[in-house]
A and B are shown apart, each in its own frame.
Chain A
Amino acid sequence: MAAAIIEEISEFLQKGRAKNVKKLVEEALAQGIDAQEILNEGLLSGMMIVGGKFKRNEVFVPEVLVAARAMNAGVAILEPHLVAAGNEPMGKAVIGTVKGDLHDIGKNLVAMMMKAAGFEVYDLGVDVEAETFVEKAEEVGADVIGMSALLTTTMPNMQSVIDALNAKGVREKYIVMIGGAPVTESFKEQIGADYYTADATSAAEVAKAAVEAKKA
Protein backbone atom coordinates (compact mmCIF):
# COMPACT_ATOMS: atom_id res chain seq x y z
CA MET A 1 0.00 0.00 0.00
CA ALA A 2 2.78 2.40 1.02
CA ALA A 3 4.73 1.62 -2.12
CA ALA A 4 1.70 2.25 -4.33
CA ILE A 5 0.98 5.76 -3.08
CA ILE A 6 4.65 6.71 -3.10
CA GLU A 7 4.95 5.49 -6.66
CA GLU A 8 1.90 7.59 -7.53
CA ILE A 9 3.49 10.68 -5.92
CA SER A 10 6.61 10.13 -8.00
CA GLU A 11 4.61 9.75 -11.20
CA PHE A 12 2.52 12.89 -10.67
CA LEU A 13 5.68 14.79 -9.78
CA GLN A 14 7.31 13.71 -13.02
CA LYS A 15 4.31 15.11 -14.89
CA GLY A 16 4.55 18.37 -12.94
CA ARG A 17 1.12 17.98 -11.35
CA ALA A 18 1.62 19.95 -8.13
CA LYS A 19 -1.99 19.71 -6.91
CA ASN A 20 -2.05 15.93 -7.22
CA VAL A 21 1.32 15.65 -5.50
CA LYS A 22 0.14 17.82 -2.63
CA LYS A 23 -3.02 15.80 -2.14
CA LEU A 24 -1.20 12.47 -2.24
CA VAL A 25 1.51 13.60 0.17
CA GLU A 26 -1.22 14.58 2.64
CA GLU A 27 -2.87 11.20 2.13
CA ALA A 28 0.42 9.37 2.62
CA LEU A 29 1.04 11.21 5.88
CA ALA A 30 -2.50 10.39 7.00
CA GLN A 31 -1.75 6.74 6.29
CA GLY A 32 1.13 7.00 8.74
CA ILE A 33 3.93 6.71 6.19
CA ASP A 34 7.17 8.22 7.43
CA ALA A 35 7.79 11.74 6.08
CA GLN A 36 11.40 10.92 5.24
CA GLU A 37 10.27 7.95 3.16
CA ILE A 38 7.73 10.09 1.28
CA LEU A 39 10.44 12.67 0.65
CA ASN A 40 13.16 10.31 -0.47
CA GLU A 41 11.20 7.66 -2.32
CA GLY A 42 8.38 9.80 -3.71
CA LEU A 43 9.51 13.36 -4.22
CA LEU A 44 13.28 13.37 -4.49
CA SER A 45 13.58 10.14 -6.44
CA GLY A 46 10.83 11.35 -8.82
CA MET A 47 12.73 14.57 -9.36
CA MET A 48 15.96 12.68 -10.01
CA ILE A 49 14.15 10.62 -12.68
CA VAL A 50 13.18 13.90 -14.37
CA GLY A 51 16.77 15.08 -13.93
CA GLY A 52 18.07 11.95 -15.63
CA LYS A 53 15.77 12.53 -18.59
CA PHE A 54 16.89 16.17 -18.72
CA LYS A 55 20.52 15.12 -18.82
CA ARG A 56 19.74 12.83 -21.77
CA ASN A 57 17.73 15.57 -23.57
CA GLU A 58 14.55 13.48 -23.27
CA VAL A 59 12.83 16.31 -21.43
CA PHE A 60 13.68 20.00 -21.40
CA VAL A 61 13.66 23.01 -19.08
CA PRO A 62 9.85 23.47 -18.90
CA GLU A 63 9.33 19.86 -17.79
CA VAL A 64 12.04 20.23 -15.12
CA LEU A 65 10.46 23.46 -13.86
CA VAL A 66 6.95 22.04 -13.44
CA ALA A 67 8.36 18.93 -11.78
CA ALA A 68 10.37 21.10 -9.37
CA ARG A 69 7.26 23.12 -8.61
CA ALA A 70 5.44 19.89 -7.78
CA MET A 71 8.39 18.73 -5.66
CA ASN A 72 8.36 21.99 -3.71
CA ALA A 73 4.61 21.71 -3.13
CA GLY A 74 5.13 18.28 -1.59
CA VAL A 75 8.18 19.29 0.42
CA ALA A 76 6.30 22.23 1.94
CA ILE A 77 3.80 19.81 3.44
CA LEU A 78 6.49 17.46 4.69
CA GLU A 79 8.77 20.12 6.16
CA PRO A 80 7.21 20.42 9.64
CA HIS A 81 7.29 16.64 9.98
CA LEU A 82 10.91 16.44 8.83
CA VAL A 83 11.99 19.22 11.20
CA ALA A 84 10.18 17.53 14.10
CA ALA A 85 11.96 14.27 13.32
CA GLY A 86 15.34 16.08 13.23
CA ASN A 87 16.22 14.91 9.73
CA GLU A 88 19.55 16.13 8.46
CA PRO A 89 20.21 17.08 4.82
CA MET A 90 22.82 15.06 2.98
CA GLY A 91 24.90 18.22 2.69
CA LYS A 92 24.78 21.98 2.38
CA ALA A 93 25.46 23.89 -0.81
CA VAL A 94 25.98 27.60 -1.38
CA ILE A 95 25.40 28.61 -4.98
CA GLY A 96 25.11 31.69 -7.17
CA THR A 97 26.17 33.33 -10.40
CA VAL A 98 29.49 35.12 -10.09
CA LYS A 99 30.04 38.87 -9.98
CA GLY A 100 28.83 40.59 -13.14
CA ASP A 101 26.72 37.69 -14.38
CA LEU A 102 22.92 37.92 -14.34
CA HIS A 103 22.15 34.71 -16.22
CA ASP A 104 20.41 32.60 -13.63
CA ILE A 105 18.41 29.88 -15.37
CA GLY A 106 21.21 27.33 -15.28
CA LYS A 107 22.00 28.19 -11.69
CA ASN A 108 18.33 27.84 -10.74
CA LEU A 109 18.19 24.40 -12.37
CA VAL A 110 21.27 23.36 -10.40
CA ALA A 111 19.58 24.56 -7.19
CA MET A 112 16.50 22.47 -8.01
CA MET A 113 18.51 19.34 -8.76
CA MET A 114 20.72 19.81 -5.68
CA LYS A 115 17.56 19.93 -3.57
CA ALA A 116 16.39 16.77 -5.28
CA ALA A 117 19.69 15.14 -4.37
CA GLY A 118 19.00 15.94 -0.71
CA PHE A 119 21.04 19.11 -0.27
CA GLU A 120 20.06 22.12 1.77
CA VAL A 121 20.65 24.84 -0.80
CA TYR A 122 21.55 28.44 -0.02
CA ASP A 123 20.95 30.28 -3.28
CA LEU A 124 22.75 33.62 -3.22
CA GLY A 125 21.15 34.69 -6.51
CA VAL A 126 22.99 36.59 -9.22
CA ASP A 127 25.96 38.95 -9.45
CA VAL A 128 27.45 37.59 -6.23
CA GLU A 129 30.65 39.07 -4.81
CA ALA A 130 33.49 36.61 -4.12
CA GLU A 131 33.47 37.48 -0.42
CA THR A 132 29.73 36.78 -0.19
CA PHE A 133 30.25 33.20 -1.38
CA VAL A 134 32.95 32.71 1.25
CA GLU A 135 31.04 34.38 4.07
CA LYS A 136 27.87 32.39 3.44
CA ALA A 137 29.74 29.11 3.13
CA GLU A 138 31.50 29.77 6.42
CA GLU A 139 28.31 30.90 8.11
CA VAL A 140 26.24 27.84 7.25
CA GLY A 141 29.05 25.28 7.29
CA ALA A 142 28.61 24.43 3.62
CA ASP A 143 30.03 21.35 1.99
CA VAL A 144 29.78 22.64 -1.56
CA ILE A 145 30.26 26.04 -3.22
CA GLY A 146 28.72 26.14 -6.70
CA MET A 147 29.39 28.96 -9.16
CA SER A 148 27.82 29.70 -12.52
CA ALA A 149 28.80 32.03 -15.38
CA LEU A 150 27.42 32.43 -18.89
CA LEU A 151 29.80 35.10 -20.14
CA THR A 152 33.47 34.77 -20.98
CA THR A 153 33.92 38.17 -19.35
CA THR A 154 32.59 36.97 -15.98
CA MET A 155 34.28 33.55 -15.91
CA PRO A 156 37.46 35.03 -14.37
CA ASN A 157 35.37 35.97 -11.33
CA MET A 158 35.21 32.27 -10.48
CA GLN A 159 38.94 32.51 -9.90
CA SER A 160 38.29 35.43 -7.53
CA VAL A 161 36.12 33.21 -5.32
CA ILE A 162 38.84 30.58 -5.15
CA ASP A 163 41.40 33.31 -4.41
CA ALA A 164 39.16 34.58 -1.61
CA LEU A 165 38.88 31.06 -0.15
CA ASN A 166 42.66 30.68 -0.30
CA ALA A 167 43.22 34.10 1.24
CA LYS A 168 41.10 33.05 4.19
CA GLY A 169 42.85 29.70 4.42
CA VAL A 170 39.59 27.77 4.00
CA ARG A 171 39.84 26.45 0.43
CA GLU A 172 40.26 22.84 1.52
CA LYS A 173 37.05 22.89 3.55
CA TYR A 174 34.88 23.12 0.45
CA ILE A 175 34.08 21.18 -2.66
CA VAL A 176 34.19 23.90 -5.31
CA MET A 177 32.07 23.31 -8.42
CA ILE A 178 31.67 25.41 -11.55
CA GLY A 179 29.41 25.41 -14.58
CA GLY A 180 27.88 27.56 -17.34
CA ALA A 181 27.91 27.67 -21.12
CA PRO A 182 31.55 28.65 -21.81
CA VAL A 183 32.98 26.83 -18.76
CA THR A 184 35.07 23.74 -19.44
CA GLU A 185 37.05 21.02 -17.73
CA SER A 186 40.30 22.74 -18.68
CA PHE A 187 39.08 26.02 -17.18
CA LYS A 188 38.36 24.09 -13.99
CA GLU A 189 41.97 22.90 -13.98
CA GLN A 190 43.22 26.39 -14.73
CA ILE A 191 41.50 28.04 -11.76
CA GLY A 192 41.84 25.15 -9.32
CA ALA A 193 38.17 24.26 -8.84
CA ASP A 194 37.26 20.68 -7.91
CA TYR A 195 34.55 19.83 -10.42
CA TYR A 196 33.06 21.09 -13.67
CA THR A 197 29.76 19.65 -14.80
CA ALA A 198 27.91 20.30 -18.05
CA ASP A 199 24.35 20.07 -16.77
CA ALA A 200 22.30 20.51 -13.60
CA THR A 201 21.66 16.83 -13.00
CA SER A 202 25.32 15.94 -13.28
CA ALA A 203 26.13 18.78 -10.88
CA ALA A 204 23.80 17.30 -8.27
CA GLU A 205 25.09 13.75 -8.81
CA VAL A 206 28.72 14.80 -8.62
CA ALA A 207 28.12 16.97 -5.55
CA LYS A 208 26.38 14.12 -3.77
CA ALA A 209 29.14 11.63 -4.57
CA ALA A 210 31.85 14.11 -3.55
CA VAL A 211 30.18 14.89 -0.22
CA GLU A 212 29.64 11.21 0.51
CA ALA A 213 33.28 10.48 -0.31
CA LYS A 214 34.45 13.33 1.91
CA LYS A 215 32.31 12.21 4.82
CA ALA A 216 33.22 8.55 4.47
Chain B
Amino acid sequence: MNSIERFYATVNREPVDRPAAWLGMPDIHAQPALFAHYGVKDFHELKLAVGDDFYAVEIPYQSPNSSAIYAAFDWYMDGNVDAEERTLTTPGCFAEAEEPEDLEFFEWPDPAKYIDVEECRRRVEMAPKDKVCLGVIWSAHFQDTCASFGMENALMNMIANPEIYEAVDAKIMEFYLKANEIFYEATKGRLNAVLIGNDMGSQRGLILSPDMVRRFIIPGCKKLVEQAHSYGLKVIYHSCGSIADVIPDLIEAGVDIIHPIQALAAGMEPKGLKEKYGDQVSFCGGVDTQDLLVNGSPEDVRLKVRELRSIFPTGLIISPSHEAILPDIPPQNIEALFDEAQKPGKTSLV
Protein backbone atom coordinates (compact mmCIF):
# COMPACT_ATOMS: atom_id res chain seq x y z
CA MET B 1 0.00 0.00 0.00
CA ASN B 2 1.18 3.54 -0.58
CA SER B 3 0.39 6.32 1.88
CA ILE B 4 -2.78 7.40 0.10
CA GLU B 5 -4.20 3.87 -0.08
CA ARG B 6 -3.29 3.33 3.56
CA PHE B 7 -5.00 6.59 4.52
CA TYR B 8 -8.28 5.79 2.75
CA ALA B 9 -8.26 2.29 4.21
CA THR B 10 -7.80 3.83 7.66
CA VAL B 11 -10.67 6.27 7.11
CA ASN B 12 -12.89 3.40 5.98
CA ARG B 13 -11.63 1.13 8.76
CA GLU B 14 -10.50 -1.48 6.26
CA PRO B 15 -7.39 -3.64 6.68
CA VAL B 16 -4.04 -1.85 6.34
CA ASP B 17 -0.52 -3.20 5.80
CA ARG B 18 0.55 -1.02 8.75
CA PRO B 19 -0.96 2.09 10.33
CA ALA B 20 -0.64 5.46 8.67
CA ALA B 21 1.48 7.91 10.67
CA TRP B 22 1.58 11.70 10.80
CA LEU B 23 4.37 13.85 12.22
CA GLY B 24 2.12 16.83 12.93
CA MET B 25 3.28 20.42 12.64
CA PRO B 26 6.36 20.75 14.87
CA ASP B 27 6.69 24.06 16.66
CA ILE B 28 9.25 26.32 15.00
CA HIS B 29 11.49 26.01 18.08
CA ALA B 30 11.39 22.21 17.84
CA GLN B 31 12.43 22.14 14.19
CA PRO B 32 16.21 22.77 14.45
CA ALA B 33 16.81 19.64 16.57
CA LEU B 34 14.64 17.57 14.22
CA PHE B 35 16.49 18.94 11.16
CA ALA B 36 19.82 18.08 12.78
CA HIS B 37 18.68 14.62 13.82
CA TYR B 38 17.45 13.71 10.35
CA GLY B 39 20.25 15.58 8.57
CA VAL B 40 17.87 17.80 6.57
CA LYS B 41 17.84 21.51 5.93
CA ASP B 42 14.17 22.48 6.03
CA PHE B 43 10.63 21.40 6.91
CA HIS B 44 9.94 20.10 3.41
CA GLU B 45 12.90 17.73 3.62
CA LEU B 46 11.96 16.75 7.17
CA LYS B 47 8.46 15.68 6.08
CA LEU B 48 10.05 13.37 3.54
CA ALA B 49 12.83 12.13 5.81
CA VAL B 50 10.64 10.98 8.71
CA GLY B 51 8.64 8.71 6.45
CA ASP B 52 5.43 10.61 7.03
CA ASP B 53 2.35 9.32 5.21
CA PHE B 54 1.12 12.91 5.03
CA TYR B 55 2.34 16.07 3.45
CA ALA B 56 0.69 18.98 5.22
CA VAL B 57 0.20 22.31 3.49
CA GLU B 58 -1.23 25.50 4.91
CA ILE B 59 -3.43 27.94 3.00
CA PRO B 60 -1.16 30.74 1.84
CA TYR B 61 -2.47 33.98 3.30
CA GLN B 62 -0.83 37.34 3.10
CA SER B 63 -2.64 40.49 4.17
CA PRO B 64 -1.17 43.78 5.37
CA ASN B 65 -1.58 42.50 8.94
CA SER B 66 -1.05 38.79 8.79
CA SER B 67 0.90 36.04 7.11
CA ALA B 68 -1.27 33.21 8.45
CA ILE B 69 -4.95 32.55 7.91
CA TYR B 70 -5.45 31.54 11.52
CA ALA B 71 -4.43 35.11 12.44
CA ALA B 72 -6.38 36.84 9.70
CA PHE B 73 -8.51 39.04 11.94
CA ASP B 74 -7.12 42.19 13.51
CA TRP B 75 -9.19 41.84 16.70
CA TYR B 76 -6.93 44.13 18.69
CA MET B 77 -6.98 46.89 16.05
CA ASP B 78 -3.26 47.39 16.38
CA GLY B 79 -2.08 45.68 13.21
CA ASN B 80 -0.28 43.07 15.31
CA VAL B 81 -2.40 39.96 14.85
CA ASP B 82 0.43 37.47 15.28
CA ALA B 83 1.54 38.80 18.64
CA GLU B 84 2.89 35.92 20.68
CA GLU B 85 2.59 37.76 23.95
CA ARG B 86 -1.21 37.98 23.82
CA THR B 87 -3.33 35.72 25.99
CA LEU B 88 -6.63 34.17 24.99
CA THR B 89 -8.48 36.28 27.51
CA THR B 90 -7.14 39.61 26.21
CA PRO B 91 -10.24 41.63 25.36
CA GLY B 92 -10.77 41.89 21.61
CA CYS B 93 -12.36 44.80 19.79
CA PHE B 94 -15.88 43.45 20.42
CA ALA B 95 -15.35 43.22 24.19
CA GLU B 96 -18.07 45.81 24.83
CA ALA B 97 -20.35 44.90 21.90
CA GLU B 98 -23.98 44.26 22.80
CA GLU B 99 -25.95 44.92 19.60
CA PRO B 100 -25.27 43.96 15.97
CA GLU B 101 -24.60 47.63 15.15
CA ASP B 102 -21.72 47.54 17.64
CA LEU B 103 -19.90 45.29 15.17
CA GLU B 104 -20.23 47.58 12.18
CA PHE B 105 -16.96 49.47 12.65
CA PHE B 106 -14.89 46.33 12.02
CA GLU B 107 -13.23 45.84 8.64
CA TRP B 108 -13.71 42.20 7.73
CA PRO B 109 -10.90 40.91 5.53
CA ASP B 110 -11.78 39.59 2.08
CA PRO B 111 -9.99 36.26 1.59
CA ALA B 112 -10.03 36.71 -2.19
CA LYS B 113 -7.66 39.66 -1.78
CA TYR B 114 -5.17 37.80 0.36
CA ILE B 115 -5.05 34.21 -0.90
CA ASP B 116 -2.79 33.74 -3.89
CA VAL B 117 -4.29 31.01 -6.07
CA GLU B 118 -0.98 30.24 -7.78
CA GLU B 119 0.72 29.87 -4.43
CA CYS B 120 -2.02 27.41 -3.35
CA ARG B 121 -1.17 25.29 -6.40
CA ARG B 122 2.56 25.62 -5.87
CA ARG B 123 2.27 24.40 -2.29
CA VAL B 124 0.27 21.28 -3.08
CA GLU B 125 2.57 20.50 -6.00
CA MET B 126 5.41 20.24 -3.46
CA ALA B 127 3.67 17.16 -2.05
CA PRO B 128 4.98 13.87 -3.41
CA LYS B 129 2.32 12.17 -5.53
CA ASP B 130 2.14 9.12 -3.26
CA LYS B 131 1.66 11.06 -0.01
CA VAL B 132 -1.61 12.18 1.50
CA CYS B 133 -1.89 15.88 0.76
CA LEU B 134 -3.41 17.41 3.88
CA GLY B 135 -4.69 20.98 3.87
CA VAL B 136 -4.20 22.45 7.31
CA ILE B 137 -6.95 25.04 7.18
CA TRP B 138 -8.21 25.12 10.80
CA SER B 139 -11.22 27.42 10.12
CA ALA B 140 -11.36 27.80 13.91
CA HIS B 141 -14.51 29.89 14.10
CA PHE B 142 -15.09 29.23 17.80
CA GLN B 143 -11.57 30.26 18.77
CA ASP B 144 -11.74 33.34 16.57
CA THR B 145 -15.09 34.39 17.97
CA CYS B 146 -13.65 33.96 21.46
CA ALA B 147 -10.66 36.13 20.54
CA SER B 148 -12.86 38.84 19.06
CA PHE B 149 -14.51 39.45 22.43
CA GLY B 150 -11.75 38.09 24.65
CA MET B 151 -12.34 34.49 25.65
CA GLU B 152 -14.02 35.13 28.98
CA ASN B 153 -16.32 37.77 27.51
CA ALA B 154 -17.22 35.43 24.66
CA LEU B 155 -18.04 32.53 26.95
CA MET B 156 -20.18 34.80 29.12
CA ASN B 157 -21.95 36.14 26.03
CA MET B 158 -22.91 32.58 25.15
CA ILE B 159 -25.13 32.71 28.23
CA ALA B 160 -25.99 36.39 28.60
CA ASN B 161 -26.13 37.57 24.98
CA PRO B 162 -25.94 34.61 22.58
CA GLU B 163 -27.20 36.71 19.65
CA ILE B 164 -24.10 38.89 19.63
CA TYR B 165 -21.86 35.84 19.88
CA GLU B 166 -23.64 34.21 16.95
CA ALA B 167 -23.53 37.39 14.85
CA VAL B 168 -19.72 37.42 15.04
CA ASP B 169 -19.45 33.67 14.51
CA ALA B 170 -21.57 33.99 11.34
CA LYS B 171 -19.22 36.60 9.85
CA ILE B 172 -16.18 34.47 10.66
CA MET B 173 -17.80 31.39 9.12
CA GLU B 174 -18.54 33.40 5.98
CA PHE B 175 -14.83 34.32 5.76
CA TYR B 176 -13.63 30.74 6.18
CA LEU B 177 -16.12 29.20 3.77
CA LYS B 178 -15.01 31.67 1.12
CA ALA B 179 -11.30 31.15 1.87
CA ASN B 180 -11.68 27.39 1.77
CA GLU B 181 -13.54 27.54 -1.53
CA ILE B 182 -10.68 29.49 -3.09
CA PHE B 183 -8.19 26.95 -1.76
CA TYR B 184 -10.25 23.92 -2.79
CA GLU B 185 -10.86 25.25 -6.30
CA ALA B 186 -7.17 26.04 -6.74
CA THR B 187 -6.01 22.63 -5.55
CA LYS B 188 -8.75 20.45 -7.06
CA GLY B 189 -7.63 16.88 -7.55
CA ARG B 190 -4.45 17.26 -5.50
CA LEU B 191 -5.78 17.52 -1.96
CA ASN B 192 -6.92 14.40 -0.11
CA ALA B 193 -7.95 15.70 3.29
CA VAL B 194 -8.25 18.79 5.45
CA LEU B 195 -7.60 19.50 9.10
CA ILE B 196 -10.14 21.81 10.72
CA GLY B 197 -11.07 22.32 14.33
CA ASN B 198 -11.49 24.28 17.51
CA ASP B 199 -10.03 23.72 20.96
CA MET B 200 -13.02 23.02 23.16
CA GLY B 201 -11.60 20.53 25.67
CA SER B 202 -9.61 20.86 28.86
CA GLN B 203 -7.62 18.10 30.55
CA ARG B 204 -10.64 17.05 32.60
CA GLY B 205 -13.64 17.74 30.38
CA LEU B 206 -15.21 20.12 27.92
CA ILE B 207 -14.70 23.86 28.38
CA LEU B 208 -18.36 24.43 27.61
CA SER B 209 -21.33 22.17 28.10
CA PRO B 210 -22.25 19.59 25.45
CA ASP B 211 -25.44 21.60 24.81
CA MET B 212 -23.42 24.74 24.17
CA VAL B 213 -21.06 22.85 21.87
CA ARG B 214 -24.14 21.70 19.94
CA ARG B 215 -25.49 25.22 19.68
CA PHE B 216 -22.32 27.22 19.04
CA ILE B 217 -19.76 24.90 17.43
CA ILE B 218 -21.38 21.93 15.73
CA PRO B 219 -23.42 23.93 13.18
CA GLY B 220 -20.22 25.56 11.87
CA CYS B 221 -18.48 22.21 11.91
CA LYS B 222 -21.29 20.75 9.77
CA LYS B 223 -20.99 23.50 7.16
CA LEU B 224 -17.22 23.09 6.92
CA VAL B 225 -17.52 19.32 6.66
CA GLU B 226 -20.19 19.55 3.96
CA GLN B 227 -18.05 21.97 1.98
CA ALA B 228 -14.96 19.73 2.20
CA HIS B 229 -16.96 16.62 1.33
CA SER B 230 -18.40 18.37 -1.71
CA TYR B 231 -14.80 18.53 -3.00
CA GLY B 232 -14.26 14.86 -2.15
CA LEU B 233 -12.01 15.66 0.80
CA LYS B 234 -11.85 13.73 4.05
CA VAL B 235 -12.14 15.79 7.21
CA ILE B 236 -9.89 15.51 10.24
CA TYR B 237 -11.40 17.48 13.12
CA HIS B 238 -9.11 18.77 15.84
CA SER B 239 -9.76 19.70 19.43
CA CYS B 240 -7.28 19.58 22.25
CA GLY B 241 -8.35 18.03 25.52
CA SER B 242 -11.20 15.85 26.65
CA ILE B 243 -14.00 15.94 24.09
CA ALA B 244 -15.39 12.46 24.64
CA ASP B 245 -18.87 13.82 25.43
CA VAL B 246 -19.30 15.38 21.99
CA ILE B 247 -17.68 12.74 19.79
CA PRO B 248 -21.16 11.48 18.79
CA ASP B 249 -22.00 15.03 17.66
CA LEU B 250 -18.84 15.25 15.58
CA ILE B 251 -19.68 11.90 14.00
CA GLU B 252 -23.19 13.13 13.30
CA ALA B 253 -21.70 16.26 11.69
CA GLY B 254 -19.87 14.01 9.24
CA VAL B 255 -16.32 14.19 10.62
CA ASP B 256 -14.16 11.36 9.22
CA ILE B 257 -11.27 11.40 11.68
CA ILE B 258 -11.04 12.83 15.19
CA HIS B 259 -7.71 14.41 16.12
CA PRO B 260 -5.98 14.03 18.45
CA ILE B 261 -6.48 11.24 20.86
CA GLN B 262 -5.05 13.36 23.69
CA ALA B 263 -4.06 10.29 25.58
CA LEU B 264 -3.99 11.68 29.13
CA ALA B 265 -7.15 13.77 28.96
CA ALA B 266 -10.18 12.43 30.85
CA GLY B 267 -12.21 9.89 28.90
CA MET B 268 -9.82 9.86 25.94
CA GLU B 269 -8.21 6.49 26.59
CA PRO B 270 -7.64 4.79 23.21
CA LYS B 271 -9.22 1.51 24.29
CA GLY B 272 -12.45 3.14 25.42
CA LEU B 273 -12.68 5.25 22.27
CA LYS B 274 -12.16 2.19 20.11
CA GLU B 275 -14.87 0.27 21.95
CA LYS B 276 -17.40 3.11 21.85
CA TYR B 277 -16.79 4.69 18.47
CA GLY B 278 -14.36 2.46 16.60
CA ASP B 279 -16.98 1.34 14.08
CA GLN B 280 -18.24 4.87 13.38
CA VAL B 281 -15.22 7.14 13.06
CA SER B 282 -11.44 6.97 12.76
CA PHE B 283 -8.88 8.67 14.99
CA CYS B 284 -5.48 10.32 14.81
CA GLY B 285 -2.99 10.74 17.66
CA GLY B 286 -2.59 8.63 20.76
CA VAL B 287 1.14 8.98 21.47
CA ASP B 288 1.17 11.21 24.51
CA THR B 289 3.05 14.52 24.32
CA GLN B 290 2.38 15.56 27.93
CA ASP B 291 4.66 12.95 29.48
CA LEU B 292 5.63 9.96 27.32
CA LEU B 293 7.24 11.69 24.32
CA VAL B 294 8.86 14.29 26.60
CA ASN B 295 10.14 12.10 29.41
CA GLY B 296 9.97 8.53 28.08
CA SER B 297 12.68 6.53 26.31
CA PRO B 298 12.50 5.45 22.66
CA GLU B 299 11.64 1.97 23.96
CA ASP B 300 8.69 3.40 25.96
CA VAL B 301 7.47 5.10 22.78
CA ARG B 302 7.77 1.86 20.80
CA LEU B 303 5.78 0.03 23.45
CA LYS B 304 3.00 2.62 23.24
CA VAL B 305 2.89 2.42 19.44
CA ARG B 306 2.65 -1.39 19.65
CA GLU B 307 -0.18 -1.04 22.17
CA LEU B 308 -2.03 1.42 19.90
CA ARG B 309 -1.56 -0.88 16.90
CA SER B 310 -2.99 -3.75 18.86
CA ILE B 311 -6.05 -1.70 19.99
CA PHE B 312 -6.59 -0.26 16.51
CA PRO B 313 -5.70 -2.81 13.80
CA THR B 314 -7.08 -0.07 11.55
CA GLY B 315 -8.93 3.23 12.07
CA LEU B 316 -6.04 5.05 13.75
CA ILE B 317 -3.38 7.34 12.32
CA ILE B 318 -0.47 7.05 14.72
CA SER B 319 0.67 10.55 15.66
CA PRO B 320 1.79 12.64 18.62
CA SER B 321 -1.17 13.57 20.80
CA HIS B 322 -0.60 17.23 19.96
CA GLU B 323 0.33 18.30 16.47
CA ALA B 324 2.66 21.09 17.57
CA ILE B 325 5.60 19.06 18.84
CA LEU B 326 7.52 21.19 21.35
CA PRO B 327 11.31 21.44 21.66
CA ASP B 328 11.38 19.31 24.81
CA ILE B 329 10.58 16.16 22.80
CA PRO B 330 13.81 14.34 21.88
CA PRO B 331 13.97 13.64 18.12
CA GLN B 332 14.94 10.05 18.98
CA ASN B 333 11.42 9.56 20.33
CA ILE B 334 9.88 10.83 17.10
CA GLU B 335 12.09 8.44 15.17
CA ALA B 336 10.98 5.59 17.45
CA LEU B 337 7.32 6.50 16.86
CA PHE B 338 7.68 6.33 13.07
CA ASP B 339 9.95 3.32 13.07
CA GLU B 340 7.54 1.28 15.16
CA ALA B 341 4.47 2.51 13.25
CA GLN B 342 6.07 1.57 9.94
CA LYS B 343 6.80 -2.05 10.78
CA PRO B 344 4.65 -4.11 8.45
CA GLY B 345 1.97 -6.49 9.53
CA LYS B 346 -0.01 -7.10 12.67
CA THR B 347 1.37 -6.06 16.01
CA SER B 348 1.45 -8.18 19.07
CA LEU B 349 2.25 -6.80 22.50
CA VAL B 350 4.32 -9.84 23.40
Binding site for B on A (CB under 8 A): 16, 57, 59-63, 65-66, 69, 102-106, 108, 126-127, 151-153, 181-182, 184, 198-199
Chain A to chain B contacts (Cβ below 8 Å), 16 pairs: A57-B204, A60-B207, A61-B155, A61-B207, A61-B208, A62-B158, A62-B159, A103-B88, A126-B87, A151-B326, A152-B290, A152-B294, A182-B203, A182-B264, A182-B290, A184-B291
Which of A16, A62, A65 is close to B212, meaning CB atoms less than 8 Å apart? A62
Which of B89, B208, B241, B326 is close to A153, meaning CB atoms less than 8 Å apart? B326
Name the CB-closest residue of B to A198. Answer: B204
State in angstroms the CA–CA spacing of A103 and B241 once bound together. 14
B89 adjacent to A104 (CB under 8 Å): yes
Which of B87, B202, B208, B326 is close to A102, meaning CB atoms less than 8 Å apart? B87
State in angstroms the CA–CA spacing of A108 and B264 once bound together. 23
B313 beta carbon closer than 8 Å to chain A: no
B152 beta carbon closer than 8 Å to chain A: yes
B202 adjacent to A62 (CB under 8 Å): no
B328 beta carbon closer than 8 Å to chain A: yes
Which of B87, B152, B160, B264 is close to A103, meaning CB atoms less than 8 Å apart? B87
B104 beta carbon closer than 8 Å to chain A: no
State in angstroms the CA–CA spacing of A63 and B289 once bound together. 30
Known: A66-B160, A126-B87, A181-B290. A153 touches B328 (CB 8 A): yes
B209 beta carbon closer than 8 Å to chain A: yes
Which of A59, A66, A102 is close to B85, meaning CB atoms less than 8 Å apart? A102
State in angstroms the CA–CA spacing of A126 and B90 once bound together. 11
A105 adjacent to B204 (CB under 8 Å): no
A108 adjacent to B89 (CB under 8 Å): yes
State in angstroms the CA–CA spacing of A57 and B202 once bound together. 11
A198: B residues at CB distance < 8 A: 203-204
B205 beta carbon closer than 8 Å to chain A: yes
State in angstroms the CA–CA spacing of A184 and B205 once bound together. 16
A102 adjacent to B86 (CB under 8 Å): yes
A105 adjacent to B159 (CB under 8 Å): no
Please list the 10 inter-chain residue pairs (A to B) with the smallest Cβ-Cβ separation, ordered nearest first. Answer: A182-B290, A62-B155, A181-B203, A57-B205, A60-B209, A102-B87, A104-B87, A60-B208, A152-B294, A61-B207
B206 beta carbon closer than 8 Å to chain A: yes
Name the CB-closest residue of A to B155. Answer: A62
A106: B residues at CB distance < 8 A: 202
B264: A residues at CB distance < 8 A: 182
B159 adjacent to A16 (CB under 8 Å): yes
B152: A residues at CB distance < 8 A: 65, 105, 108
State in angstroms the CA–CA spacing of A61 and B156 once bound together. 9
Pick the most buried of A61, A69, A198: most chain B CB atoms within 10 A of its CB. A61
B326 adjacent to A152 (CB under 8 Å): yes
B204: A residues at CB distance < 8 A: 57, 198-199
A59: B residues at CB distance < 8 A: 209
B151 adjacent to A105 (CB under 8 Å): yes
B26 beta carbon closer than 8 Å to chain A: no
Nearest-neighbour CB distance to chain A for B211, whole angstroms, equals 10
B327 beta carbon closer than 8 Å to chain A: yes
